[in-house]
Amino acid sequence: MSSAEKIAAADLANLSVVRYPDPRLREVCTPLEVVDEAVGVLAERMLEVMFADRGVGLAAAQVGVTVRLLVASPSFDEGDRIVLVNPRIVAEDGWEEMEEGCLSFPQIFCKIKRRKIVTIEALDLAGQPIREDLEGFAARVVQHEMDHLDGRLLVDRMGQLAKLAHRQALKQLEADFVGG
Ligand SMILES: [Zn+2]
């Protein structure tokens, strides 16, 4: 399916966050071929879902639309909105370990090591190329959401100890999942 077909197939008025182990979270997402009005509507709906669920970032795969689009608000301020279409990391520097959560893994928080500084190239909602230098928490949020674009999840970044510590919570999510 093309990105446009995936967006057209989505019920944009009723998006909700899909949880681990939904198989859509494991897909390598499709690049957006065009940045049109439908992409803008999807991004707007994703921001609404993200703020409503008290998240600071959300990838389209997390609402079941497996395209390379992410939204974020590292300060959790309605005025602070990052929307990235087809983002890629073009430079990175340093490492930092911090506690991190994910709307698709409710109640699970664990320390994850990520790049401290990243430079991102992407398209904005006007289809124009943008370049952003991000540091600290903002860099972390965008790296986390970019993981989702490749089907990579919090559980893949956890160390053995964290996996053990969260074994029950992970099992519960697996038991709660009604898939298909
Ligand atoms: Zn996540």
pLDDT tens digit string along 137-172? 999 999 999 999 999 999 999 989 999 999 999 999
**Average pLDDT of the segment spanning 76-88:** 95
Confidence label for 178 from pLDDT (cuts 50, 70 and 90): confident
Percent of the chain topping pLDDT 70: 99
pLDDT at 179 over 80: no
48 tagged catalytic: no
Residue type, 5: E
Spatial distance between the Cα atoms of 59 and 147, rounded to a whole number of angstroms: 9
Distance CA 63, CA 60 (A): 5
Q: How far is the CA of 144 from the centre of ligand 1 (A)?
A: 6
CA 59 / ligand 1 centre spacing (Å): 7
Contact 170, 119 (CB under 8 A): no
**C-alpha separations of 119 from 124, 125, 134 in Å:** 15, 19, 6
Catalytic residue among 78, 99, 145, 174: 145
Question: Which domains does the chain possess?
Answer: 3-176 (3.90.45.10)
- Between vectors from CA 177 to CA 15 and to CA 74, what angle results, nearest 5°? 50
Q: Mean pLDDT, to the nearest integer, of 100-129?
A: 97
Q: What is the pLDDT of residues 1-28, one digit of tens each?
A: 999 999 999 999 999 999 999 999 999 9
Burial of 180 (0-12, 13-18, 19+ CB in 10 A): exposed
Whole-model pTM over 0.75: yes
Q: How far is the CA of 102 from the centre of ligand 1 (A)?
A: 4
How many angstroms separate the alpha carbon of residue 118 from the centre of ligand 1? 18
CB 24 within 8 A of CB 64: yes
Rounded Cα–Cα distance for residues 34 and 18 (Å): 25
3-state secondary structure of 145: helix
- Distances, alpha carbon 126 to alpha carbons 25, 60, 90, 100, 146, in Å: 27, 18, 21, 31, 20
Task: Report pLDDT for 126.
Answer: 98
Task: Give residue 103 CA to ligand 1 midpoint distance, Å.
Answer: 6
Q: Over the chain, what is the mean pLDDT?
A: 96
CA of 114 to the centre of ligand 1 (A): 14
Give the integer Cα–Cα distance in Å for 138 and 118.
9
Query: What integer pLDDT is reported at residue 180 of this predicted model?
Result: 52
